Amino acid sequence: MSVRPYIVEYMFDSLVAVDPMADQSVLIERIAELETIKSAAAAGQARAAAALDAARRAGEAASGMPSERRGRGVASEIALARRDSPARGGRHLGFAKALVHEMPHTLHALESGALSEWRATLIVRESACLEVEDRRTLDVELCRDPAGLDGMGDARVAAAAKAIAYRLDPHAVVDRAAKAENERTVTIRPAPDTMTYVTALLPLTQGVSVYAALRREADTRSDGRSRGQVMADTLVERVTGRAAAVPTPIAVNLVMSDDTLLGGDSAPADISGYGPIPAAVARSMVARSVADRRSRATLRRLYTHPRTGALVSMESRARLFPRGLATFIELRDQRCRTPYCDAPIRHRDHAQPWAEGGTTTDENGLGLCERCNYTKEAPGWRVSTSVDKNHTHTAEFTTPTGRRYQSGAPPRGPAITISNLEVRVGIALARHAA
């Protein structure tokens, strides 16, 4: 699929052309010009997004759709067109509507290159808690004279917008802070070297007191561990209720090729819900677990050839995916199958709906996040699936305007899955602490 329509090819080429032999001052000039083009393009995308949303809602209103259901899925269409995640698509659309309908000066500053897309986003974000009238005032004060934005970095732009918002409506800012407390949560993501980040988003006072308590603990210990190590160990001990030195059994689902398991291959293994881990680490996890008689790990072949393996051809009359098939889909898809959406899988759903004759099979099954599963049900959306002769599972998403996007399941050779592998994760402690 060509990225650019043929008609604009020539125009586009001259727009972004760079002569590497040009004079240095010309090259710098070119970098500045291209930056302005990026901002102008972002403004154009905002206008197009707001217009698409308005046209879709008008059409749906004319066909008698209740107002709360109108515009469903538009953010996901914008995300696909921008090669971005649906969550970002939602932000892009909110940003576009705010700029086009309420903040003309900020939009103009973006269009002229005085603001980057990110800085314009910061201004929209800081004004989000305001009533429309106040938002318009902020727009005028901050962006009517684009020269005033000259030399302002991200932090200064955000601070200037925040200061105006606070002056215009202090209560709105305080209310927003109270609402933000509802967003408190704990998340996990992989870190390099088979470490992991556990992040807590907390109200300010709680966050500060958690950190202070860990530091206090570190101040009272002098056992050869660094401050950071004591703080990390204390966090684990207090949250899990076990001493950090005592290995904590956790059940993980591990997928790897049999060659990797037997040591003949260095292809990485995959912990479901975490991501790839080095072959050697996976092997030692399995070895330790197998040596431990308390372990209840189950081993199962996965991705076997359709002629020989039952799992791939498993079919059910049930509306809900049976557990084995659901696990299979989850291990196959790894993350939400919508292109560019990296969200974890929450639903194992039918591509072609069950009500329309879709079968409960791995071929018609799709791992999706909550948001994408909901979007798929919006009017005009269609998802079809296929499996080619190399057993690659492909899902094709068709949006209301008829654009098509494909997503293949991540490639994987013959593999085995080890479910419920009990891995004893111990934190290396100075032994004399015990």
* C-beta atoms surrounding 30 within 10 Å: 15
- Residue 346 CB, nearest distance to Zn ion (Å)? 9
- Residue 192 CB, nearest distance to Zn ion (Å)? 26
Using CB under 5 A, pick the residue from 252, 285, 331, 341 that binds Zn ion.
341
Place of tokens 């009533």: 131
CB 75 within 8 A of CB 153: no
Q: Which helix (H) or strand (E) holds 251?
A: strand 248-256
> Judged by CB, which is closer to Zn ion: 175, or 370?
370
Does the protein bind Zn ion through residue 345 (CB under 5 A)? no
Number of residues that bind Zn ion (CB under 5 A): 6
- Tell me what percent of the chain is helix, strand and coil, each rounded to the nearest 5: 50, 15, 35
Q: CA 404, CA 77: separation in Å to the nearest integer?
A: 10
> Judged by CB, which is closer to Zn ion: 169, or 349?
349
Q: CA 293, CA 176: separation in Å to the nearest integer?
A: 53
Q: Which range in 50-58, 131-139, 340-348, 414-422 contacts Zn ion by CB under 5 A?
A: 340-348
- Residue 430 CB, nearest distance to Zn ion (Å)? 44
> Judged by CB, which is closer to Zn ion: 76, or 361?
76
> Judged by CB, which is closer to Zn ion: 364, or 419?
364
- E strands along 257-392, which residues? 269-271, 275-277, 298-302, 315-316, 347-350, 360-361, 365-368, 382-387
Does the protein bind Zn ion through residue 336 (CB under 5 A)? yes
Q: Which of residues 352-381 bind Zn ion (CB under 5 A)?
A: 369, 372
- Residue 295 CB, nearest distance to Zn ion (Å)? 34
Two structure tokens written together for 246: 């005592």
Using CB under 5 A, pick the residue from 343, 387, 427, 433 that binds Zn ion.
343
CB 260 within 8 A of CB 277: no
- Residue 117 CB, nearest distance to Zn ion (Å)? 23
> Judged by CB, which is closer to Zn ion: 252, or 336?
336
* C-beta atoms surrounding 237 within 10 Å: 16
Q: Which range in 96-104, 157-165, 337-345, 397-405 contacts Zn ion by CB under 5 A?
A: 337-345
> Judged by CB, which is closer to Zn ion: 285, or 372?
372
> Judged by CB, which is closer to Zn ion: 261, or 383?
383
Does the protein bind Zn ion through residue 49 (CB under 5 A)? no
Using CB under 5 A, pick the residue from 39, 338, 360, 385 that binds Zn ion.
338
Q: CA 170, CA 154: separation in Å to the nearest integer?
A: 22
CB 401 within 8 A of CB 227: no
The one-letter code for the residue type at 342 is: D
Which residues of this chain interact with Zn ion, rule CB under 5 A? 336, 338, 341, 343, 369, 372
